[in-house]
Chain A
């Protein structure tokens, strides 16, 4: 490390050329398009999986259990990615798994937005003691290992689709509060808000008609990235046995089941995890590109 810094030429010579900067922007946009395509693919799969899936994801076939993917020896025709420990088709289960992931990802983020943006608007607009209280709560929530909270919530409520959404929603909202609060604080002093106040519009009207629309781009960008996080966290809860219950196909549950067969049947853990990774990557790529396009100053945050 010392050697490399010693030979580095003065900083100014390394100022990025404009072509390098343009290359980076183009590259980001292109990655964004790839991300968008991945997401379209996911939605397409989630909606049409009864038509697309090669077989029933619940159909057990004990005789043909733990078959490897098609390109390996001893594979079974008709099971592209092989079969799991109950002889169910892995590909079909992964395809049905997109439903669970997308439903939870989107609903949890909607709940986060509802709580987080609501609190952020109120705290940022009124300021004072209310603001201090909300900020304190946000700091506590953000400093603490969220996953323990979400796990305890699911443990108390009982594992089910709705409860996972509730657990993720009630633990993930502080990021939205933080962004909304600061932006509201800034907007409150702007002329158009002062004008609205001068016309004696109700607070609700000012908040929802004048301030909220200006926050939408930031919320949209943040929301996109949060969906990826929620999907990863849903699979994590399911992986720990505190999420979606088998036999419903969820990537996290499949990963947990696959882990038991890790020594010989590696594909059972590898492919569901790859599905989680790919969707999270796609959503993050799109989120980054959106941020570049709509809201460049969020980059710093």
Chain B
């Protein structure tokens, strides 16, 4: 998987880094120095070996420090943002989705459907800029860029949250609707359980299993959104590092970010599978 993406990213760094009027001879010397004159597959094998056995992604061509060090500096900010977003999104989407499902086509459901529809068409970065203009520039309630305090986190978190909230609301709703039509829900009701118990213990617990799997798969989506959000809000995370490095042709850093992102996607899916097995004993038995 990783190799597939990385082959794409091997641009010609010599051309990007040297001044435009550099002579052909200089370019060749530079390439030799950096080991860029060897066939691309050998460079690639070399790269893989270094990454796997030494955790070495090479030096940043611009900052002249190990790429991994740059990432380590940026990682906490990205984690802070994405974890905050995960918490907010689940706190909102789960209750909203459940209410939408149990009161289908009610006013609340119609409003939620409409919000989801509008949210899906909303360009993330524009939403972020509008929030900055309204709350940062006009009302002066919140800082518009940078990081540090909790107040700095509010606008980026809302922006990134708006990216996956509509999808999750819909997913919870349709998941609950599927479950509520099952026989065991009718049985639970027939036993005379309170509606609260039926909804939470019997219905939601079953609806949660596919939801968790999807949450795991959304890590990629979330990181993609983080790339954009971090750029808009000058949030010092990995996403912005990736954008800057791609623009600057700093390919060791880009490769390292891609590998780390892929790592998170895999870990996210793994965690989701484990969590699903914890909640649903049937999965454990398989």
Binding site for B on A (CB under 8 A): 1-2, 4-6, 8-11, 14-16, 20-21, 23-24, 27, 31, 137, 140, 142-149, 151-153, 155-156, 228, 232, 235-236, 239-242, 255, 258-259, 262-263, 266, 269-270, 273-274, 276-277, 280-281, 283-285, 288, 300
Contact = CB atoms under 8 A, between A and B. Distances in A.
A239 B128 CA distance: 13
Contacts of A20: 105-106
A82 B63 CA distance: 42
B8 A149 contact: yes
A256 B258 CA distance: 25
Contacts of A255: 125-126, 129
Contacts of A148: 224, 227, 242, 246, 257-258, 261
A242 B194 CA distance: 56
Nearest to A20: B105
A145 B263 CA distance: 12
Given A155-B247, A240-B231, A277-B123, A5 B200 contact: yes
A253 to B, nearest CB: 12
B65 to A, nearest CB: 22
B269 A143 contact: yes
B221 interface: yes
Contacts of B232: 259
Nearest to A144: B220
Contacts of B120: 280, 284
Interface of B: 1, 4-5, 8-9, 11, 95, 98-99, 102-106, 110, 117-118, 120-126, 129-130, 132-133, 137, 174, 180, 185, 189, 194-196, 198-200, 217, 219-221, 223-224, 227-228, 231-232, 242-243, 246-247, 249, 254, 257-258, 261-262, 265, 269
Contacts of A284: 117, 120-121
Contact of A266 (B118, B133, B217): B133
A281 B118 CA distance: 7
Contacts of B258: 148
A75 B86 CA distance: 44
A153 B8 CA distance: 7
Nearest to A269: B129
Contacts of B95: 1, 4
Contacts of A21: 105
B223 to A, nearest CB: 5
Contacts of B105: 16, 20-21, 23-24
A95 B102 CA distance: 44
Contacts of A280: 120-123
Given A143-B217, A145-B224, A288 B117 contact: yes
Task: Name, among B5, B95, B246, the residue most crowded by chain A CB atoms within 10 Å (CB to CB).
Answer: B246
A4 B99 contact: yes
A149 B223 CA distance: 12
Contacts of A1: 95
A144 B257 CA distance: 12
B216 to A, nearest CB: 9
Contacts of B110: 24, 27
